[in-house]
Amino acid sequence: MINNVCILGANFATGNLGVGALAMGTIKCVNYAHPKARIFIMDYSVRGDMYHCRVNDRVVDVPLVNIRYSWKLFLPNNIVTLLALAFLARIAPGERLGRFIIRHNRCLRQLRETDLVASLAGGDSFSDIYGFGRFIYVILPQFLALLIGRKLVQMPQTIGPFQRRFARTIAKQIVRHSYRILSRDQESISDLALMAPADQGEPRPAFCYDLGFILDPVRPASKTPTDIEKLRKDHGSVCGINISGLLMMGGYTHKNMFELETDYRDIVFDVVNFILSHKTGAVLLVPHVLGKSAESDETAIVSVLAEMRTTHAERLYSVSGAYDQNGIKYIIGMCDFFIGSRMHACIAALSQAVPTIGIAYSRKFWGVMKSIGMEGLCVDPRSQNPGEILRRIRDAMDNRAQIREALEKMIPSVKKSVLELFNTDFFNEVDT
């Protein structure tokens, strides 16, 4: 029986609705199998919070236990301080002293009381593709859970690739000491088998569909759904396009971090112009990372609208305002066709049987799309030119009725599989 679960590497305050979808999916899975279990999130934040998460017909209160990532080592919840205290508790002479150290620190005490620590790593940050600093930021709380002696579960995510030998070595140790390892794509499973082959008694990686598939769409209180209904009435159909602020700014290095063959901004303009010039219906620009930063999709959409609205004012629209992961999923589900550069924007569409093209910048897109038999709907600007990308989009739009039919047959079994995750033998024998 699982009574207490800690979620690492995802919360609802980042503005990244994909991260929120992973957190909400985990909460829904745990609650489905263990409705009385206490769930809390431990993540980097200046202050704690309480999230009120609606799961089916009830509200689950999920506290955020905040830890800090800063030079202020005097803070009792600084991740470095927590690691040092956990290490001291582990090597302390006598069990009583170790318990004393843990009992007198709020974060360590709460972590020690958990049955499982579910690590999400933002879905794709258990890797160094975003830089070594980001990798360290993600893995430190996982080391903390292991030091405290908790059962660390790698929840369904993309693990790797690792470009640096040191990062690979660290990841190998975390993987080998994890209680269970789940991946949302077969390539990660193959890489893990080579990187850290399981010895007798060690966990072997297993496949599970992405947690975003079971996120519930919830109609937002804003007037956006009504506006979209009017767009469909006026123009016949709505094509949703998600534009990534991260790709628009060239990645965190601002220097084509993901090595795209063509400038992403040019791809966006080519795609929008193609849809508006060759297809009927309205185009709806949909953000999936909110906020004012350069990485925000909202920022990218504003810049696109500033250049294109004068020529396509009557058929080009955008989603604006405050939304959570459930609300934006509802909006995406109202589209007749979807093109996304954020993985979980694509999952929000696919899980509602909306024909979707994923514009990939890492292997996670191809792996997730392949898991539901839709890898043919993934385009890759790292190796394909704009002409090839537009041809794939055209073909998919022409065949969207067949794609929708295939998704409608596939998605119910996908959702059931994810929802039953904590009921499977994979999570048996959890000692409380």
For the chain, domain boundaries: 4-208, 224-413
Q: What confidence tier does 430 reach under pLDDT thresholds 50, 70, 90?
A: very low
Classified by CATH at the fold level, domain 4-208 comes out as Rossmann fold (3.40.50)
Average pLDDT over residues 98-114: 93
| Percentage of the residues of the chain whose pLDDT score is greater than 70 | 95
Is the pLDDT score of 181 beyond 70?
Answer: yes
**Tens digit of each residue's pLDDT (9 = 90 or more) over 11-36:** 998 899 999 999 999 999 999 999 99
Query: If pLDDT is split at 50, 70 and 90, which confidence band does 145 have?
Result: very high
The predicted pLDDT at position 259 comes to 85
Q: Which of 6, 5, 80, 71 minimizes the C-alpha distance to 43?
A: 6
Spatial CA neighbour of 364 closest among 219, 223, 183, 229: 183
pLDDT value at residue 101: 93
Lowest mean pLDDT among 83-92, 159-168, 237-246: 159-168
Residue 425 above 70 pLDDT?
no
**Please, are residues 244 and 287 in contact by the beta-carbon 8 Å criterion?**
no
Tell me what pLDDT residue 428 has. Answer: 58
Distance CA 204, CA 52 (A): 34
- Residue corresponding to tokens 């039953």: 420
Pick 197 or 133 by higher pLDDT: 133
Domains 4-208 and 224-413 agree in fold: yes
pLDDT confidence tier of residue 202, bands split at 50, 70 and 90: low
Q: What is residue 209's predicted lDDT score, i.e. its pLDDT? A: 95
- Supply the pLDDT for residue 423: 82
Q: What's the rounded Cα separation, in Å, for the pair 196 and 180?
A: 13
pLDDT of residue 432: 41
Once rounded to an integer, what is the mean pLDDT over residues 376-400?
93
Q: Are 247 and 283 in contact (CB under 8 A)?
A: no
pLDDT band at 195 (very low <50, low <70, confident <90, very high): confident
Most confident of 192-201, 254-263, 389-398, 423-432: 389-398
Distance CA 294, CA 299 (A): 6
**Tokens 């369904």 sit on residue:** 156
How many other CB atoms sit within 10 Å of the CB of residue 197?
Answer: 11
**Which pLDDT band holds residue 431 (cuts at 50, 70, 90)?**
very low
As a whole-number percent, the residues of the chain with pLDDT over 90 amount to: 73
Match 């949302």 to its residue by tokens.
184
CA-based end-to-end distance of the chain: 7
How far from chain centre, in Å, is Cα 57?
24
Average pLDDT value for residue range 301-318: 83
CATH class, domain 224-413, is alpha beta
- Residues 158, 184: contact at Cβ < 8 Å? yes
Q: What is the mean pLDDT of the chain?
A: 91
Question: Band of the pLDDT at 331, cuts 50, 70, 90?
Answer: very high
Phi, psi of 407 (to 5 degrees): -65, -40
